[in-house]
Amino acid sequence: MARVFLFVLDSVGIGGAPDAAAYGDAGADTIGHIAEACTAGAADRDGLREGPLTLPHLTRLGLVEAARLATGSAPAGMPAPAGIIGLHGAASEVSRGKDTPSGHWEIAGTPVMFDWGYFPQGEEAFSADLIERICREAGLPGILGNSHASGTEIIVRHGAEHIRTGRPICYTSQDSVFQIAAHEESFGLDRLYAVCAVVRRILDAETIGRVIARPFTGATPETFVRTGNRRDYCVPPPEPTLLDRLTAAGRTVHAIGKIADIFAHQGIGTATKANGNAAVFDACLSALDTAEDGDLVFANFVDFDMLYGHRRDVAGYAAALEAFDRRLPEFLGRLAAGDLLIVTADHGCDPTWRGTDHTRERVPVLAFGPGLAPRSLGIAPTFADIGETAAAHLGIAAGRHGRSLFG
């Protein structure tokens, strides 16, 4: 049996990107800075975690050595284990931008070599003409927000007025996104999705990567909370990805978490929505029983990025890493002969960094399968090598942009 399980730990970068300075991110290092904060006691939180960053199972897969490759030094307080069991390395991104689609598409063998569209900084992010067209075609009385903003803060600021007026909250960030927050009950979840579909169509010509539905519930600013019914409306990849190639070869791609949305549902065989890292992990365990020979199980663990990286919550990020690590043996112990697990990331989101956006970083590439001898994979020049490693393991032809890291 030959199956591949591809886990993307959303935003778990390891620093050292050779072009980080071009993005204002020279020195950003998600894992390194979290480990440093933990060692200094700056990530202790009563009832949550304390002490050095403790990731024994990821470390045995080679995380510390991958970080050493990426930056030249090991994360503080994380000594390498006596015996590494995984093939381990780092990968640099060649895609333009540090957006979620860029990283995932490149992992799947299709780098983004065009420039994304972005909304300008300033008092108003969206032009009057764009707002007028959205309101006319989506049947809206107007919008609130119209700014670069944190998703949680803007809901607190405008949520009550949104409920009273029926105007959705529209905002963006330094990523190529148009985000729409609306109350699940007073506005309606289906209506929110319909508005996002209209905005997606309008913005196709602007090369905006994603329109994101951000539903929330609650009655007051103190009780507003975003729900797990988020939906991403992405532009499709510019050429066939590993997912399309596998589908064309008669294989099944099992997408877990937001993977199906990121790929605009192209090349997807089954899609499992899962709210949070624990639910995604449970779905991956279930996939061990359902995925067949030649299949790819592709999962995104979103909490690292959405709940902790963007909110610059170092202690929460560290605790989420440790929670994932504690569960990893559940998965490793059930891999069958011929199975391959690859653990990687799509970009960084250093919670110690300025601002609240992604950071340009190298990512870890940790691979494990029964019978595979551990060794260093070095530094891959493109994330596309990750996808081509999966393609080679599954026995399909290589794509145009990468090569298998296994040689």
pLDDT, tens digit (0-9, with 9 covering 90-100), for 128-137: 999 999 999 9
Backbone phi, psi, residue 269, to 5°: -95, -55
Query: What value does the mean pLDDT take over residues 262-284?
Result: 97
The pLDDT confidence band at residue 225, using thresholds 50, 70 and 90, is: very high
Cβ–Cβ under 8 Å, residues 86 and 368: yes
Note the pLDDT of residue 82. Answer: 84
Query: What value does the mean pLDDT take over residues 275-296?
Result: 97
Tokens of 228: 């797990």
In this prediction the pTM is: 0.93
How many CA atoms, within 13 angstroms, populate the side-chain half-sphere of residue 272? 22
- Name every residue whose Cβ is closer than 8 Å to that of residue 369 and which is 6 or more positions away in sequence: 335, 338, 339, 340, 341
Tokens of 116: 């994304």
d(CA 290, CA 367): 21
Tokens of 257: 């978490």
3-state secondary structure of 26: coil
Note the pLDDT of residue 1. Answer: 64
* Helix H or strand E encompassing 129: helix 128-138
Note the pLDDT of residue 164. Answer: 97
Which residue type occupies 331? F
Q: What is the mean pLDDT of the chain?
A: 96
Residue 360 has pLDDT above 80, yes or no: yes
Which is nearest to 396 in space by CA: 288, 294, 260?
Answer: 294
Backbone phi, psi, residue 298, to 5°: -120, 115
Note the pLDDT of residue 122. Answer: 82
